Amino acid sequence: MKYTNLGRTGLSVSRLCLGTMNFGPQTSEEDSHAIMDHALELGINFFDTANVYGWKKGEGWTEQIIGRWFAKGGDRRERTVLATKLYGGMGDWPNQTYLSALNIRQACDASLKRLQTDHIDIYQMHHVDRRTPWEEIWEAMEVLRQQGKIIYVGSSNHAGWHIAKAQERARQRHLYGLVSEQSIYNLMVRDVELEVLPACEDYGLGVIPWSPLQGGLLGGVLRKQNEGKRRLEGRAKEALDSNRAAIEAYEEFCGELGEDPAHVGLAWLLAQPAVTGPIIGPRTMEQLDGSLRALDIDIDDKALARLDEIFPGPGGAAPEAYAW
């Protein structure tokens, strides 16, 4: 396994982050525990979850699964850099959603109880809350840090100007501020290159891409369809149909490289500035093992240029991407 610092911090994390969103709804608790054990065996120490995962409102199903895994002992908690999130609704009562100081406090305590731990390594805001001033958010987060309940604060799905505003408000309060940003980022969805990535580079945030294979469209979907291993319906089928030419070219190029499309997609992300490591969400042990190949693929300048031809990004950072 390869490791890197999370943004400007001294925290060492694996270059692949284990996503747990499938734990519960798609992957049984027994299999989830086995996957997490194997991830540690492979050297993956960075795990990501959220209080809403499991998709049973208020239950925190996935966090509970992780908590029971921690409770098995064997230094599982000590070896894991644990990131979870708040924002989404955990109930129908007022203040059980968003980023008020009250919800931040209550959501953190509830996550700690479900996760069976005394602290969260990276406490992430799952979305920007336009209702709550940053002064209130930072005061609440600082209280949690002083209490020893969280160590770092991260964001997710924030625009570049949200990150800048958050950091400047933190600076005014003499706080460390954000250390990471989780954004959707992959070869097909590259909007963050305009302003989010430049903001993260400038402020020293590590970028943690989610949906690195665009819901499987970059994972060899055409080959799997031909082999009868994958069937798409609804929005996924529409997305494939509208991007078929590019995906065909992509899979053909991966064949020329002699690599699996899924591994190339992850390797491309690992080669991008500010990226700490993409979130992989394996449903099986085989998928987890296969992901490690991405760490050894060297995407040279020629390959990067070809991938840009297949999936053109926005043209670089703003404003040069669209202004003279």
pLDDT digits (tens, 9 = 90+) for 256-290: 999 999 999 999 999 998 999 999 999 889 999 99
Q: What is the pLDDT of residues 166-192, one digit of tens each?
A: 999 999 999 999 999 999 999 999 999
Say if 111 falls within a structural domain: yes
Q: Judge whether 98 counts as a catalytic residue.
A: no
Report the run of H or E that residue 320 belongs to, with start and end: none
Q: What is the mean pLDDT of residues 242-257?
A: 95
Residue % of the chain over a pLDDT of 70: 98
Number of domains in the chain: 1
Identify whether 169 is part of a domain.
Answer: yes
Amino acid letter for position 53: Y
Specify the residue for token string 């930072």.
138
pLDDT tens digits for range 100-141: 999 999 999 999 999 999 999 999 999 999 999 999 999 999
Is the overall model pTM greater than 0.75, yes or no? yes
Of the listed 53, 98, 152, 250, which one is catalytic?
53
- The answer to whether residue 93 sits within a structural domain is yes
Q: Which domain holds residue 177?
A: 3-214+268-300
Spell out the alpha helix ranges (H) of the chain: 29-42, 61-70, 101-115, 134-146, 160-172, 196-203, 221-226, 234-242, 244-257, 261-270, 285-291, 301-310
Whether 284 is in a domain gets the answer: yes
Q: List the CATH number of the domain containing 127.
A: 3.20.20.100
By the 8 A CB rule, do 151 and 182 touch? no
Report, as an integer, the average pLDDT of 77-98.
97
- pLDDT score recorded for residue 22: 93
Give the pLDDT confidence of 25-41 residue by residue, as tens digits. Answer: 999 999 999 999 999 99
**For residue 233, pLDDT beyond 70:** no
